[in-house]
Amino acid sequence: MKFLDLAWQHNQIPYLKEKIFDIIEKGSFVLSEEVANFEREWANYIGTKYCIGVNSGTDAISLALRAIGIGAGDKVIVQTNTFAATVYAIIQNQGAPLFIDIDKEYGCINLRHLKEVVHKEKPKAIILVHLYGQACYGSQVADIAKENNIFLIEDCAQAHGAKWEGKKAGTFGDISCFSFFPSKNLGAMGDAGALCTDNEEYAEKIIRYRNIGSKIKNMHETEWGGNSRLDALQAAVLLLKLRYLDIWNEKRRNIANMYRERLEKLPLLIYKEHPSAYNIYHQFVIIVEDREKLRDYLSKFEIPTLIHYPSPCHSMKPFIKYALGTFPVAEWINKRHLSLPMSPHLSEDDVAFVCKKIEECLKDEKKPEFYSER
Ligand SMILES: Cc1ncc(COP(=O)(O)O)c(C=O)c1O
């Protein structure tokens, strides 16, 4: 069984290879009409005025922070359970990350801890990460940001098409950032990313930042410039795959429902789907007391599992000096969380097989228990 099957995805899409050959024929590989077409369609899909295609999710976050003016020593809030790239993007701008603990029911940012840190530390920005394909507390975090005059950046690398209170992830912040790394719900055939915003000034700045300071060739206009351009080939692949995104997200939701039905009664915990959320299950995560035992057992039956992520960011070597306070939920969950195979290629039989093997392995185990005021 595969955790994720990109060949399966590509085989669903007619004219994919023809499109790639077409671009080779045209010979226009960087930015170009393909990128402009994708930007227009992605802005339309998310529901923002502007979209700027870039070369990765990491650069998208870094450029978003630059556009809102994050600089030396500026405090930027980020939840500790994210991919390290979110935190590196803060450090690239010489900002100081302020970590927030996890919500144990939903696996997203802990609102109570967020409010405490906002009041105590007066940060300049919050990065809300919609981890695992959820869009938890989008409007609540946007309200906290507005009330306290703080910028809000959304990291939507894992949340293409996720919704909160009926609104898409990527429409709550000043700027939202997407990764199209191949394994994402919408993935390119290499590195790719994008930023979305309704703010013309930020869009104009980012268009220049990504292309050595120029919008028009050799008209270098911004104080800072880099090379974060999106390729035509990636944009064309993304545009074709975009037609399948909602269908594949629905398939992921069905798989998640099947997992829930079969696993809920077993001695493990599953993050709930909030009644206000439409999760798109980039990952399906369970929490078990003896994770290594379960992983070993599943691997005997060629069932792959992954850990997202092996350590919370506050305890990673490069970020440890920024870890103020305590993170009891993140630390407890991090020793126990496990991502099960999740991808639209999985059949009902595949999911039933995974569940059966989990049931066999956990039959004499106890449900994990944890109590924390947070
Ligand atoms: C939550 C999160 N943020 C940021 C990134 C960085 O994106 P990229 O790998 O495209 O630079 C990723 C991608 O892995 C991610 O999952």
- The structural domains of the chain, with segments of one domain joined by +, span 6-240, 245-362
Separation of 369 CA from ligand 1 center, angstroms?
31
Residue 307 confidence (pLDDT): 98
Separation of 75 CA from ligand 1 center, angstroms?
21
- For residue 178, the cross-strand partners are 194
User: What CATH class does 245-362 carry?
Assistant: alpha beta
CB 295 within 8 A of CB 306: no
**Main-chain phi, psi angles of 102, to 5 degrees:** -95, 150
Across the 374 residues of the chain, what is the mean pLDDT of every consecutive 10-residue run? 96 94 96 97 98 98 98 98 98 98 95 97 98 95 98 98 98 98 98 98 98 93 96 97 98 98 97 97 97 98 97 97 94 97 98 98 93 81
Host H or E run for residue 285: strand 284-287
Separation of 212 CA from ligand 1 center, angstroms?
23
Closest among 13, 7, 1 to 244, alpha carbons compared: 13
Separation of 241 CA from ligand 1 center, angstroms?
19
Separation of 324 CA from ligand 1 center, angstroms?
24
- For residue 127, the cross-strand partners are 78, 153
Helix extents (H) in the chain = 6-12, 16-26, 32-46, 57-67, 84-92, 111-121, 138-147, 200-209, 232-263, 291-300, 328-334, 348-362
Measured from the Cα of 129, ligand 1's closest atom is: 1
- The fold for domain 6-240 equals Aspartate Aminotransferase; domain 2 (3.40.640)
Give the residues surrounding ligand 1 with Cβ less than 6 Å away. Answer: 56-58, 82-83, 85-86, 129, 155, 157-158, 179, 181, 191, 193
Probe residue for ligand 1, chosen from 80, 102, 158, 281 as the CB with the greatest number of ligand atoms within 8 Å: 158
Q: What is d(CA 15, CA 17) in angstroms, rounded to the nearest whole number?
A: 6
Separation of 187 CA from ligand 1 center, angstroms?
11
Which residue's CA lies nearest to atom 8 of ligand 1?
57
Probe residue for ligand 1, chosen from 62, 178, 181, 238 as the CB with the greatest number of ligand atoms within 8 Å: 181
Q: What is d(CA 29, CA 229) in angstroms, rounded to the nearest whole number?
A: 10
CB 252 within 8 A of CB 278: no
pTM above 0.85, yes or no: yes
Measured from the Cα of 183, ligand 1's closest atom is: 14
Question: What pLDDT, in 10s, does the model give residues 205-259?
Answer: 999 999 999 999 889 999 999 999 999 999 999 999 999 999 999 999 999 999 9
Do 6-240 and 245-362 agree at the fold level? no
Residue 43 confidence (pLDDT): 98
Separation of 220 CA from ligand 1 center, angstroms?
29
Separation of 83 CA from ligand 1 center, angstroms?
6
CB 125 within 8 A of CB 76: yes
Probe residue for ligand 1, chosen from 179, 234, 308 as the CB with the greatest number of ligand atoms within 8 Å: 179
